[in-house]
Structure 1
Amino acid sequence: MAQIQFSRGVSEPVVPEVRLTRAKSGNSGTATFRFESPTILDAESTDDITGMYLVDEEGEIVTREVKGKFINGKPTSVEAILIMNSQDEWDRFMRFMERYAQENGLGFSKA
C-alpha cells in the first residue's frame, strides 16, 4: 500500500497536488507536493512533522524539505519538495506515484 506520512507510522489521508519538473538531460528532477488542510495540522494532532515519507512495498523515499503555510497565524497547508538527482531516483519515485495514484484515483496531465 502506497502512503504518504509526515510523522513515521501516521498516514496522511489528504491527497496532495503534485507538480513535477525534470531536467532536459533526464538526470535530475523535482516533485513539489502541496497538501491543503492536511490532518497533521489539525488541532487534535499531537504528532510532529519530521519530514515527508513516501512509503510502499519497495521501502520509503524521504525528504526533509517540508514547509507549513500560515494565514492569520493558523496553519493552512503543507508543501514538501523532493529532489531527485539520478535516473534511478526518478524511476523509483515514478513507481511510487503510479501505486499512489492508483490507490487514490489520481490522474496525470502535462502542463
Structure 2
Amino acid sequence: MYTEQYSIRHLKMTSQTPSIQFFEGLPEELSNVSLRRNRNSGVRSVLMSFDSLKAIEKFQSYTKRFANALLLIDEEGQISVEPSSVKFIFGGPEGDDLRRVDCEFEIERQDHWDRFMRFMHRYAEVNGMAYGDTKQAQGAE
C-alpha cells in the first residue's frame, strides 16, 4: 500500500528533460503507464511498465547509487516514490528472458496527483507518448 513516502524536492529551475530513474543518473524508458482510481476510496494507483531496465543491463546497477525509490525528475524538481510493488516478468524458451517490469504505487493526496500528472504530461510529450482511454480504444477495434 502506498504510504506517504511520496516526497517532492524542488531543484533549480532548468529545462530538465523529464526522466524516470531507479538508480540515480540512469534514466529508464517507460513503455506504458496505467492510471486507475478506486471508486470507493478515491485513491489513485499508477502502474508503470518497462520493457527493459538499463539498471540491470551489463550490471549497471553496481556502478550507480540505488535511489531507494522511483525518481521522477523534471523542470519542477524531483518526485521520490516508494513503489508498493515491483514485479519482474520473465518469459522465453528458458523462462529467463526479461519481458517486462511493472512498478505500482498509489497516490492519495490531490496535490501529489496534480504534480504527478504534470510530470507525466511532460514525460509523454518528450517521449512521443499519448494518453488514451482504454475503454474507448477497445471499443474502436
TM-score bracket, shorter-length normalisation: 0.7 to 0.9
Pick one of 88, 106, 119 that aligns with 1:96: 119
C-alpha displacement of 1:77: 1.9
User: Which of residues 4, 15, 19 in structure 1 aligns to 2:34?
Assistant: 19
Gaps of 5+ in 2: 1-16, 135-141
Cα 1:9/1:32, change in 2 over 3 Å: same
The size of the alignment, in residue pairs, is 109
SS class of match (1:107): coil
- Any conservation in 1 of the 2:30–2:48 contact (CA below 8 Å)? no
1:74-111 per-residue CA deviation (whole Å, 9 max, x = no partner) reads 43321111210111111011000011011001101112
Residues of 2 paired with 1:10 and 1:99: CA distance? 18
Query: Is the contact between residue 90 and residue 97 of structure 2 (CA under 8 Å) also seen in structure 1?
Result: yes
Gaps of 5+ in 1: none
Closer, same or farther: CA 98–26 of 1 in aligned 2, 3 Å: farther
Matches within 5 A, 1:75-90: 75-90=98-113
Contact 1:63 1:81 in 2 (8 A): no
Structure 1 residues 9, 102: CA separation in 2 closer, same or farther (over 3 Å shift)? same
State the one-letter code of the partner of 2:20. Answer: I
Normalising by structure 2, report the TM-score: 0.66
Identity of aligned residues (%): 32
Q: Does 1:38 align with 2:56?
A: no
Mapped to 1, the partners of 2:31 and 2:104 lie a distance apart of: 12
**Residue 97 and residue 25 in structure 1: after superposition, are their counterparts in 2 closer, same or farther (change >3 A)?**
farther
CA–CA distance in structure 1, aligned partners of residues 114 and 40 of structure 2? 14
Task: Name the SS for the 2:61 alignment partner.
Answer: coil
